[in-house]
Amino acid sequence: MKIFFLLVISITLALSLPNADTFSEKMEVQNAKSMLERAFEFYCSNETNEMINAYNELIDKFAYSTNKEIRLITAQAMSNLALAYESANDTKAEIAVHERIISKFISSNESGIEVITIKSLLRKGFIAFNENDTKAQIETGERFVARFADTNDENLRVVLAGMMMNLGYLYTQTDEYRKAVNIGNIFMEKFENSQNELIREQFFDNSMMLGVSYTHLGEIKNALAAYQRGIDRFKNSTKPNIAKAIGAAVTNKIELEICNNLKPSFSGENRKIADKNEYSAFMYEFLQIIYAAKDEAQTKRLKEWREKYSDFSFEKLKIDFDFSDLDKWQDSLKNPAKKRVKECIDALKEFAKNR
């Protein structure tokens, strides 16, 4: 009986005590919190080196912890450490910390950690942009898109749309036009019906990027369709930046038609769109002249065009015009049409060079 009574007491005591593993874990969590607070105290007292050492100590100590609280504390410590390196203008060390955050937490769905990961991706991309590191920008953008492609968070979708658009343009800069087309079409599918104004504006930019990319791939039909899709959707926009871009889309499309021996889409509506900004109005009239030059001399119209736009400046508008398509078209013609068209192109080249 005595033995039974002692056994009951032992079992009762055992049940009343915290589980050894749980107790140990709680102590570890408390330890991590204390180390984070200690690092913050160094920050408050402007002891930078001590602060950095304290964060590194915490990060190293709990590098392999699977406890959610500790993982969040570790992620916060990493984020704070990156900020410390940023403040110290130690870009190399800052990038290394962001990369560690991304590599460790990129797959995490834990809310606090996810936010920290997003910040690191964006910050790393921003640093790459400032350093003109196209390769690093593309790498960071691809990781962001792969991770958050299916997000339903509206704010994150705006960031995702911007990241996808940026990727598309980066691909065009590195002549990876097929990749640009692929990301552009995914963008179209994903954001076709978005009512978010920020995303809608990027929808037009995406149409332009697709037009350029398809042109470089020699897929003229797709390029024209991409330009037209953007024009149709935004032709009535009153926003100055959109109105300006729409005009460029119209003249890009007409130039592409002319250079591929297609009937150019000159129309009253397209002229009205082009006239909304100086560059597209200038180019629209030039394209009318050069197309007509196939059949007869345009000396008088060319002179009037030069006089009308005497104050026009490519440099002021930061336009670096690519003459390659017009030159190829000119070379494909036979005299005397070739000679007449060359006169027009030479006039535009002089115009660009002298202004």
The separation between CA 275 and the C-alpha centre of its own chain, rounded to angstroms, equals 30
**How many CB atoms sit inside 10 A of residue 303's CB?**
11
Residue 93 counted as domain residue: yes
Distance separating alpha carbons of residues 228 and 214, to the nearest angstrom: 13
Is residue 349 packed enough to be buried (19+ CB in 10 Å), middle (13-18) or exposed (0-12)? middle
Please report, for the domain that includes residue 120, its CATH number. Answer: 1.25.40.10
306 domain residue, yes or no: no
- Contact call for residues 28 and 65 (beta carbons, < 8 A): yes
> By the 8 A CB rule, do 256 and 325 touch?
yes
Does some domain include residue 46?
A: yes
Residue 7, pLDDT score: 35
Q: What is the pLDDT of residue 278?
A: 86
Mean pLDDT by 10 residues, the chain (355 residues): 37 39 82 91 88 94 92 94 93 96 94 93 95 95 95 92 95 96 95 86 89 95 95 84 86 95 94 90 94 92 90 72 89 93 88 63
Q: Is residue 30 part of a domain?
A: yes
Is the Cβ–Cβ distance between 208 and 250 less than 8 Å? Answer: no
Dihedral (Cα; 355, 333, 226, 209), 10-degree rounding: -40
Domains identified in the chain, total number:
1
Helix 240-259 vs helix 278-292: crossing angle, to nearest 10: 20
Burial (CB < 10 A; 0-12, 13-18, 19+), residue 9, is exposed
Q: How far apart are CA 208 and CA 214, in angstroms?
A: 10
On whether residue 172 sits in a domain, the answer given is: no
pTM: 0.82
d(CA 183, CA 195): 20
Asked if residue 191 is part of any domain, the answer here is: no
332 half-sphere exposure, CB direction, 13 A CA radius = 10
Which distant-in-sequence residues (6+ apart) come within 8 Å of 131 by Cβ?
91
Instruction: Report if residue 94 sits inside a domain.
Output: yes
The CA distance from 307 to 304, in Å, is 5
CA distance 149 to 117: 15
Domain enclosing residue 109, as ranges = 24-148
Helices (H), the chain: 2-16, 20-44, 48-61, 68-87, 91-105, 111-130, 134-148, 154-173, 177-191, 197-216, 220-234, 240-259, 268-274, 278-292, 299-308, 324-332, 337-354
Domain-located, residue 50: yes
Contacts of 175 (CB under 8 A, 6+ apart): 216
